[in-house]
């Protein structure tokens, strides 16, 4: 995989992802499997489960050991080689979690555009980003990083020895709140929007909840989001 392409995706990942998501949502045609409500419910439950598992993986990762995935000046960067917590069992748990989020949303939408565009592009982007990060880490940490690679899988977590890995570690809920609140709130919003949008495209406005219910849900979501954001920005809650 070309590391230069990975640097490009890393630099613009916050813009490319939402843009592709919106395009696929607008041009795609959601459907119910075999036009059956029960099968659609199965896909919805599966999609939500996969997305929540991806979010749980991100929360567990950040709670036990934080890593500088944001880079520096939108470039790949790491001051230390993080090997504890979930990183002792998977080298890229945050990216794996993001791929699971995308797959879960795609299952809820059940649109060819999501299956053929969004999921493959998300996977390709993260494989490219990982190639760029691995080149950086090999150059900076040398043999220590190579030993880490031999010990830990790139993608598929191996949970054997998990108890020993977190022995003596403290799960930092404050760090999770500060670092992960945006992803968690956006996930709830995205799952709700794609569910309503797909149902509307398939069955029409009759299947949508009343407007007041939707408005109340949006107000509650916004209030909770800005409450947590204020706690972070004010410094009342620190990582």
- pTM for this predicted structure: 0.92
* 39-74 tens-digit pLDDT: 999 999 999 999 999 999 999 999 998 887 556 667
192 located within any domain:
no
111 located within any domain:
yes
Spatial separation of the C-alpha atoms in residues 205 and 216, rounded to whole Å: 18
Expressed as residue numbers, the domain containing 76 is 3-169
142 located within any domain:
yes
The more confident residue out of 35 and 210 is 210
Residue 129 belongs to domain with CATH number: 1.20.120.1630
140 located within any domain:
yes
46 located within any domain:
yes
Closest by Cα among 195, 188, 191 to 30: 195
* Number of domains, the chain: 1
- Cβ neighbour number for residue 66 with a 10 Å cutoff: 16
198 located within any domain:
no
76 located within any domain:
yes
234 located within any domain:
no
């Amino acid at each position: 995989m070309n590391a230069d392409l990975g640097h490009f995706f890393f630099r613009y990942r916050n813009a490319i992802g939402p843009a592709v998501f919106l395009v696929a949502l607008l041009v795609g045609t959601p459907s119910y499997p075999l036009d059956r409500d029960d099968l659609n419910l199965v896909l919805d439950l599966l999609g939500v489960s996969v997305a929540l598992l991806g979010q749980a993986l991100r929360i567990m990762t950040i709670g036990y050991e934080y890593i500088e995935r944001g880079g520096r000046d939108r470039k790949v960067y790491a001051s230390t080689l993080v090997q504890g917590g979930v990183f002792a069992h998977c080298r890229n748990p945050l990216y794996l979690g993001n791929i699971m989020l995308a797959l879960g949303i795609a299952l809820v939408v059940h649109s060819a555009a999501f299956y053929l565009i969004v999921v493959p592009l998300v996977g390709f982007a993260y494989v490219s980003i990982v190639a760029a990060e691995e080149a950086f880490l090999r150059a900076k940490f040398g043999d220590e990083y190579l030993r880490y690679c031999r010990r830990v899988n790139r993608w598929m977590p191996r949970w054997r020895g998990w108890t020993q890995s977190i022995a003596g570690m403290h799960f930092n809920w404050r760090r999770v709140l500060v670092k992960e609140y945006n992803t968690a709130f956006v996930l709830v919003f995205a799952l709700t929007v794609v569910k309503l949008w797909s149902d509307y495209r398939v069955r029409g406005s009759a299947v949508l909840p009343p407007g007041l219910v939707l408005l109340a849900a949006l107000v509650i979501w916004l209030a909770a989001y800005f409450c947590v954001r204020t706690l972070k920005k004010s410094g009342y809650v620190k990582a």
